[in-house]
Chain A
Amino acid sequence: MESVWSFISPEPWSFGELFDALRQAPMYHIVVEIILVVFIIRLLLTKSYPIESDELTEAEKEELIRDWEPEPLVPDTPEDHPDLKSRVVTKNGSTSMVVNGKEGINMATLDFLGMISRKETEEAALKAAGKYGVGSCGPRAFFGTIDVHLYLEQKLASFCGVEQAILYSYGFSTVASAIPAYAKRGDIIYCDEGVSFPIQMGLLASRSKLKFFKHNDMDDLQRLLEDQMALEKKNPKKAKVTRKFLVVEGLYANYGTIAPIAKLIEFKYKYKVRVFMDESYSFGVLGKTGRGVTEYSGVKIQDVDLIVVSMEMALGTMGGFCLGTQYVIDHQALCGLGYCFSASLPPLLASAAHAAIDCLEADPDICERLRQKASFLHERLAEIEGITVSGVPISPVKHIRLVNSSGNRDADTRLLQSVVDKALDRGLVLTVAKYLNDEESFLPDPSIRVTVNVDLTEELLIKAVDIMKNTFSEVFQKSG
């Protein structure tokens, strides 16, 4: 102990002794030591040099700021871009519409049941406008809940036979808000490659892990699910808190195909995945009474955890709704972004949607008539040479695609667009299905999207097919 103290304490040292020691030391020793000291000092300095230089001076910062040139906010769009030439509608109707001053048979809008031009919806909207004005002037929580919203939600729930429904004010935001309300970071979503863009945005917002399976390919899905099951066996603790979701569309907007819901429900219970289904295109279309894919396939609607429907198609207004159990739906009232943070649906639109549901309920055969017309059209279209018609015959959305693609997407699109333009001159309103090519996860091939409206008579359908046939053959001839 003693010795240690003496070693540490400065007591035995003095400057005199130090000097003596220096004097007695050999010269070379001192020289070496001096060199060492100089070297150390140099090292210290050089080491600190880059640290100092890392910090930019104010002048350098100003220079950087001066030199930085941002890209323009948006890239240039040519003024004469073909898609900028708006096709302006001055009259819309279920069977005919006026586009750019030319009247034509309507095979472009999505209101399959012709609800937009029904007297019933018009009267309901007028009545609601007289009572409530136009806007609701607030989100649902803050005096934006109008009694007609509640009536419509009750009606939708009872019509479909589910516990609860929740209304949104925009079709796109319905599914895009519903998915991230449940699926969060760390969860897994299995998703069909054919889903439409709003669903893709919902998936993106959820930040969950995404696993895509080939469109309607149940083997591919099962493979993914089996893989996950094997993983979970290894880590059952994590598996217990990892939620899994299966996101599909009832009737695929981009393909006109129907989801094999019975199989999906089987997977649901086998692999413990919750099923979310977007029925925007199948509600009011499939099933004996228009209740959608579940009715069509004979599956209990309660087996699907969440059904999302946009009212912008068959119901012919704006907005959307979700269906499910109270346990599932209630959550969206505080966690559905598009529900909480946006003004509610204008009451006159809610009333119009309500009237549309009433019409559907009073005349359920309307769905069957629509499907017959769709099948009729499908058969006729299949006879046109050079094109394929995708999807099931009963689907009221049909995508006409080229058999012989030129291999160049732009060229194909231009060709289809010229068909659309020529058809308008001949009295048929069509549209090329528009996509954001760079944003889609799995971009569908270019197509003309033909829709069938229940009000179109057989004669009109035949006339439309004739126009298409002539236009296609003319365009094909010209393009060689």
Chain B
Amino acid sequence: MYKYWVMEMMEAHHQQSLAIQMKQRRLANGHKPVSIPQEALPNGLHRENVNRKHTAQRNGITKSASSSKNNVPKKEAHPSQEGKASASYEPTPLVWAVITFWCYFILVIVGWVRDILRKTGLENTKGGQEKEHMKEFPSLYQGFDNFYVRNIYIKLRDNFNIPVCGIPGAEFELAERRTDDYNWTYHMTGRTKRCINLGSYNYLGFAENSGWRHEEVRKVIKEYGSGVGSSRQEVGTLDLHQELESLVAEYTGKEDAITFGMGFATNALNIPALVGKGCLVISDKLNHASLILGIRLSGAVVRVFEHNDMKSLEKVLRKAVVEGQPRTHRPWKKILVIVEGVYSMEGTIVNLPEVVALKKKYKAYLYLDEAHSIGAMGKTGKGVVEYWGVDPKDVDIMMGTFTKSFGSSGGYIAADKKIINHLRLHSHSATYSTAMPAPLAQQIIVCFKTLLGRDGTDEGMYRTRRLAWNVKYFRSKLKQMGYIVYGHDDSPVVPIMIYLPSKVGAMGRLCRERGIGLVLVGFPATPITETRIRVCLSAGHTKEMLDKTLDAFDEYGDLLWMKYSSQEVPQTIIPPYPQREKKGDENEE
């Protein structure tokens, strides 16, 4: 029962953190420049020294660390940062910030007027209505959410939830929808349009419906069916789960692993098994909703640090250790730092070496969510840990999902045996929800086998190299065009800032007409003024597909005035297109 008290206690805290967050957003317009230096060296040639110098200067970690007993040797703290890409964060140009606010201002005014018209019955109210006999109940909704949906989101609704009629591969079939009531309801016409898929999280192109991997999955469907019907703790542990978990442990370099049927639930339902009352969680400001929910359910106190800002993280850590718990000043039982590998809305790559150094210095534990980086980052796809050359042992909890690079569904946690044993017994998810269905597990197993080269080809490596090439090529071309592109140059998530909701609608529709499927992200996934296009690159994208997309971006960027950047972008040297070393998959084109 104590949880319910904790919840009450957290209320005050939450309000505070929310208020701070909102203030910061207002102040900084959402984005402080990230601490990674802005340099645009073509390819790691001279970067080593430059980068080191910057690292030392920018965080003060090296300085303060050397005065501490828990000092981490410098080599270990920055194992291999040479050749690491830089982040580019260009703040919103002032004039566009003003115009964006003006745009929303008009939308809100128009919305208000229309709400009044609806109330007086001059305008038809569309969409779902409260039933007559329920009208005397206290209203089910209040606040801004529904105003936003009714008056703003609805105008752009044709750009979201577009049904896909086939496999979400490098190209896909988008259903054509019609609406007779201005986006309130749709019906599918039955026609489809073939588009380049720049939205799905199919980083390694494992969303497939043919080939040996697919055949393996079919076999498993026939053998096990598509459900399990019991939880892992009861009788839901299949032999496939054990095989999968040993592969995850091997791939991530940890002792053991546990898997679940949904990535979101992996976070939301396992963090409470790790921290609780008297513990502190230090969370990146832009962490995913599932992490925030997990923290909330755990009953731990949470402090938020600026997105990927190591100075801010150190400040929060230091204050926490020195001051202890609020009011009683008792020391915290433990401190858990939660970060993501690649941030799905920002494209930022976490500054892992520094996080690890800080975590060691302050004896905190580290929880790394590799949802978007496992498979997609690092030479052999082993995530940001491999990308930065950090020892997996230094990351206490490695979490990731199978929805992205593996073209399946579910999530894992890899850690020391002791931690995994604890989770097997105390995870909400392992106790109360049914285990991952066998076909999903098999899909992941065959992907791991490919990535580890167990299929006798170099398909896995070839795919990671192709993805890396696509990322370099696409990002540098976009920047040269003058777009404001967020995130690191090596990040497969490419957020392209658009700011204005009206342009978002225009760009989405124009590109779809031209056979390009774009994901447009707005509120509630981003702050309301930072609407953007988010491209997720895939190893499956060919150079022709990317070129076609870039042509469209070039043309529409001029048409819609979206090349906001005023930064000088030097020519990037694009490495040669990757070639196979061995024989590839038999189902390769």
A204 touches B202 (CB 8 A): no
A172 touches B403 (CB 8 A): no
B50 proximal to A (CB < 8 A):
no
The 4 A-B residue pairs with the shortest CB-CB distance, nearest first, are A326-B128, A327-B128, A109-B229, A342-B264
Q: Which residues of B contact A185 (CB under 8 A)?
A: 11
Q: Which residues of B contact A81 (CB under 8 A)?
A: 421, 425
From B160, B228, B263, B364, give the contact of A109 (CB < 8 A). B228
A436 touches B290 (CB 8 A): no
B428 touches A83 (CB 8 A): no
**Those of A154-210 within 8 Å (CB) of chain B:** 163-164, 169-173, 176, 182, 185, 196-198, 201, 204-205, 207, 210
B418 touches A134 (CB 8 A): no
A349 touches B432 (CB 8 A): no
User: What are 21 pairs between A and B in contact, CB < 8 Å?
Assistant: A56-B322, A70-B363, A91-B223, A92-B224, A109-B228, A109-B229, A121-B226, A130-B218, A134-B443, A135-B168, A143-B519, A146-B168, A169-B409, A170-B262, A312-B228, A317-B226, A318-B436, A327-B130, A337-B264, A349-B226, A436-B431
Contacts A108-B230, A138-B199, A429-B235; is A201 near B11 (CB within 8 Å)? no
* Cα(A122)–Cα(B149), bound, Å: 39
B175 proximal to A (CB < 8 A):
yes
B437 proximal to A (CB < 8 A):
yes
Contacts A131-B167, A147-B188, A439-B3; is A318 near B289 (CB within 8 Å)? no
From B137, B222, B525, give the contact of A122 (CB < 8 A). B222
* Cα(A64)–Cα(B317), bound, Å: 12
* Cα(A149)–Cα(B161), bound, Å: 11
Distance of A345 from chain B, by nearest CB (Å): 8
Q: Of all chain A residues, which has the CB nearest B209?
A: A133
* Cα(A328)–Cα(B137), bound, Å: 13
From B167, B361, B364, give the contact of A133 (CB < 8 A). B167
Which candidate, B36-44, B66-74, B106-114, B579-587, is the interface stretch facing chain A?
B66-74
* Cα(A317)–Cα(B227), bound, Å: 4
Q: Which residues of A contact B168 (CB under 8 A)?
A: 132-133, 135-138, 143-144, 146
B234 proximal to A (CB < 8 A):
yes
B225 touches A241 (CB 8 A): no
Distance of A50 from chain B, by nearest CB (Å): 16
A233 proximal to B (CB < 8 A):
no
**Those of A57-82 within 8 Å (CB) of chain B:** 61-62, 64-66, 68-77, 79, 81
**Chain B residues proximal to chain A, CB less than 8 Å:** 1, 3-4, 7, 11, 67-70, 127-131, 136-142, 145-146, 149, 153, 160-169, 172, 175, 188, 197, 199-202, 207-209, 214, 217-218, 221-231, 233-239, 242, 261-265, 268-269, 272-274, 288-290, 293, 296-297, 318, 321-322, 331-336, 361-365, 396-397, 401-404, 406-409, 418-419, 421-426, 428-429, 431-434, 436-437, 439-440, 443, 517, 519, 521, 524-525, 534
B137 touches A272 (CB 8 A): yes
Q: Which residues of B contact A349 (CB under 8 A)?
A: 226-227, 437
A285 proximal to B (CB < 8 A):
no
B440 touches A343 (CB 8 A): no
A135 touches B233 (CB 8 A): no
Q: Which residues of A contact B234 (CB under 8 A)?
A: 108, 431-434, 449
B235 touches A150 (CB 8 A): no
Which candidate, A1-9, A110-118, A385-393, A465-473, is the interface stretch facing chain B?
A110-118
Q: Which residues of A contact B200 (CB under 8 A)?
A: 137-138, 142-144
B218 touches A129 (CB 8 A): yes
Residue from B167, B296, B519 with most neighbouring chain A CB atoms (10 Å):
B167
Classify chain A's interface size: 35 or more
Contacts A66-B69, A73-B396, A110-B434; is A142 near B333 (CB within 8 Å)? no
B140 touches A243 (CB 8 A): yes
A172 touches B265 (CB 8 A): yes
**Those of A205-258 within 8 Å (CB) of chain B:** 205, 207, 210, 239-244
B68 touches A65 (CB 8 A): yes
B421 touches A312 (CB 8 A): no
From A86, A171, A334, A436, give the contact of B433 (CB < 8 A). A171
Contacts A71-B333, A108-B235, A436-B431; is A77 near B226 (CB within 8 Å)? no
From B175, B217, B296, give the contact of A205 (CB < 8 A). B296
Q: Which residues of B contact A132 (CB under 8 A)?
A: 166-168, 209
* Cα(A429)–Cα(B52), bound, Å: 61
A446 proximal to B (CB < 8 A):
no
Distance of A368 from chain B, by nearest CB (Å): 21
Q: Which residues of A contact B197 (CB under 8 A)?
A: 143
Q: Which residues of A contact B335 (CB under 8 A)?
A: 70
* Cα(A307)–Cα(B65), bound, Å: 56
Residue from B138, B229, B289, B440 with most neighbouring chain A CB atoms (10 Å):
B229
Q: Which residues of B contact A340 (CB under 8 A)?
A: 289, 524-525
A372 proximal to B (CB < 8 A):
no
* Cα(A141)–Cα(B522), bound, Å: 11
* Cα(A115)–Cα(B437), bound, Å: 13
A335 proximal to B (CB < 8 A):
yes
B166 touches A205 (CB 8 A): no
* Cα(A196)–Cα(B432), bound, Å: 9
B226 touches A330 (CB 8 A): no
B293 touches A334 (CB 8 A): no
* Cα(A109)–Cα(B289), bound, Å: 32
Q: Of all chain B residues, which has the CB nearest A303?
A: B133
Q: Of all chain B residues, which has the CB nearest A313?
A: B229
* Cα(A315)–Cα(B68), bound, Å: 59
A380 proximal to B (CB < 8 A):
no
B208 touches A133 (CB 8 A): yes
Distance of A265 from chain B, by nearest CB (Å): 12
A135 touches B139 (CB 8 A): no
Q: Which residues of B contact A333 (CB under 8 A)?
A: 161
B437 touches A318 (CB 8 A): yes
A274 touches B137 (CB 8 A): yes
A427 proximal to B (CB < 8 A):
no
Contacts A121-B226, A129-B209, A343-B201; is A204 near B3 (CB within 8 Å)? yes
Q: Of all chain A residues, which has the CB nearest B429?
A: A172
Q: Of all chain B residues, which has the CB nearest A146?
A: B164
A328 touches B128 (CB 8 A): yes
A259 proximal to B (CB < 8 A):
no
A143 touches B172 (CB 8 A): yes
* Cα(A449)–Cα(B229), bound, Å: 13
Q: Which residues of B contact A109 (CB under 8 A)?
A: 228-230, 235-236
Q: Of all chain B residues, which has the CB nearest A209?
A: B8
Q: Of all chain B residues, which has the CB nearest A143?
A: B199
* Cα(A89)–Cα(B322), bound, Å: 50
Q: Of all chain A residues, which has the CB nearest B235?
A: A108
A287 proximal to B (CB < 8 A):
no
Distance of A130 from chain B, by nearest CB (Å): 6
